[in-house]
Amino acid sequence: MFSLNSKLFFILAGISVALIIGTSCGEKESAEKRTTMEVMLKPYSPPADGKITAVQAEAFAGAFLGLLQLDVRYSRKWGDFLSPDSLYLASPDSSFAKQHPELTERVQQLLEAKNRERARILSKFGLTDSEYDWIGTQLSSAENREMAELVASRLKG
């Protein structure tokens, strides 16, 4: 089963994507926002053989560590702000969100800031969000055992 933290992660990830898409409609975007959206939304076409390259494995390991630090930093920053009770802030249609627009706005600001940092980390390692996710799922396949061992060694060291 998923723990509260993993459920919260999936909820926040979904909210993040929705916020990125929602904030992009009909406005002139800054270069930083365009870069964030390109990294977070650009599709990735995996190779037909399903094999991860050594370059991708190295990039994944570096990005993984950076994203882990980002999650820890934001978990500390948000504290109880995103407790299960305050998840009502995620839905703009909820009565709680309508009664507390300042809190809803703050949640959106935090998620947007985290998305910008996530995009910077992925960009630093030459990855998009979809390529990063693809690599993560492929590490458990038999044909990528060697690359999984490479990633594991980088994460231990």
114-156 pLDDT, tens digit per residue, is 889 999 999 999 999 999 999 999 999 999 999 999 999 999 9
Single pTM value for the model: 0.69
Provide the residue type at 73 as one letter: R
pLDDT in tens, 2-54: 444 444 444 444 444 444 444 444 444 576 677 677 777 888 999 999 999 99
CB burial string 47-63: b at 16+ within 10 A, e below:
eeeeebeeebbbbbbbb
